[in-house]
Amino acid sequence: MEVRRIDPHDDAAFSAWFSVLSTTDRERWPGLPGWQRVERLAMALDEVGPEEHQCLSAFSDGHVVGIADIEMYRRENPHLARVDIRVQPDVRRRGVGSALLAEAERIAVGAGRSETGGMGETPVREGVRDSVKEFAARHGYRPAMGMVGRRLTLPLAAAHRESLVGNPKAHPDGYTMLTFADRWPEAYMADRCELGRRMSTDIPKGDQDLDEEMWDEDRVRHIEQHLAAQDRAKLTTAARDVRTGRLVAFTEIAIPLGAPEATWQHDTLVMREHRGNALGFAVKLANVLALQDAFPRARAINTWNAVDNLHMIAINEAMGFNVVSSSVYWLKLLDTGTG
């Protein structure tokens, strides 16, 4: 068996890599579209954005039997690499995953990284077991944060929608809701940058040691361009403080235009000094309703929460999100040879 990095400009090599990703997506979540090829290709080709992605393939007898994605950050967190490993079902427990992980760790050390991590997600449906725990522990990883995946089925039932809209939390005093698609309004760019910075400091991180992120307009606009390259749309709702005119909370949903039936919750944040005013509930509900209006083919919103993010979990449960998976973020300190 041979493990090597593949060039995403090589159409055949990338297609073989993506085929394994797609197969394992369908195995984990049958009936859902999973990642779209254009989304992962845009990630692999992005040479200037906040994250770099390297694609590894494991070959046996000339066939790709497993893959890895290595994510490394360009602006902050220079100590960290994140790894996602997938192995074809018929060749598991033959060392493919271990070989991919060893090469990913070697690349991470070569890039000056001292820590690797990865998320193991297990659907909660009957007959599915956690296949990551034993693998991660055997290779020296320890649990750093627990997360729970939830899914909201769309469209909302009429009675449930009416109940949510009629809830006083949907209309907090002193704030107005602003909803827009794709491009952040220029007038609120400073607010977007501050909200982005706060996302890196004000949310649960478990045992992860993560840097404060610095946001500017170039970063925001590049993310928007990258979203377009992925053939994705995004809906955002922000809460505006009437007293100051500043945006103090926001939430985002990403929509793969090639498969809009499955949508993905991105960031949600309420600034600490504005918490306790039901802004999380208000922005999330407004965004869900905007999604239903703009993308009537949408059938689900997928989201994840840290297990200790009790306030956001309560909001999601009130809106009707149901638990579909449990996840653990696994972390390892690498031997860089500098100690």
Domain annotation for the chain: domains and CATH numbers: 2-113 (3.40.630.30), 151-327 (3.40.630.30)
Instruction: Report DSSP letters for 84-121, one per residue.
Output: EEEE-GGGTTSSHHHHHHHHHHHHHHHTT--EEEEEEE
CA 174 – CA 224 distance, rounded (Å): 30
- Whether the Cβ atoms of residue 19 and residue 74 lie closer than 8 Å to each other: no
Tokens of 233: 């749309």
- Whether the Cβ atoms of residue 253 and residue 264 lie closer than 8 Å to each other: yes
Residue 287: name the closest of 310, 315, 329, 327 by CA: 315
Q: What is the pLDDT of residue 338?
A: 61
Q: What is the pLDDT of residue 129?
A: 87
pTM: 0.93
Interval 22-52: pLDDT, tens: 999 999 999 999 999 999 999 999 999 999 9
CA 86 – CA 93 distance, rounded (Å): 12
Interval 241-298: pLDDT, tens: 999 999 999 999 999 999 999 999 999 999 999 999 999 999 999 999 999 999 999 9
Interval 101-125: pLDDT, tens: 999 999 999 999 999 999 999 999 9
Residue 65 has φ and ψ, to the nearest 5°, of: -110, -10
CA 278 – CA 281 distance, rounded (Å): 5
Q: What is the pLDDT of residue 157?
A: 97
CA 275 – CA 289 distance, rounded (Å): 22
Mean pLDDT of the chain: 95
* Of the candidate ranges 74-83, 139-148, 205-214, 228-237, the one whose mean pLDDT is the lowest: 205-214
CB neighbours of residue 103 within 10 Å: 19
CB neighbours of residue 142 within 10 Å: 13
Q: What is the pLDDT of residue 253?
A: 98
Quick check: helix, strand or coil at residue 324?
A: strand
Q: What is the pLDDT of residue 204?
A: 78
Question: Does pLDDT of 335 surpass 90?
Answer: no
Task: Report in angstroms the alpha-carbon separations of 334 from 49, 82, 191, 248, 304.
Answer: 25, 12, 37, 38, 27
- Whether the Cβ atoms of residue 335 and residue 157 lie closer than 8 Å to each other: no
Interval 157-200: pLDDT, tens: 999 999 999 999 999 999 999 999 999 999 999 999 999 999 99
Q: What is the pLDDT of residue 68?
A: 98
**Cross-strand pairs, 263:** 301
339 confidence band (pLDDT: 50, 70, 90):
low
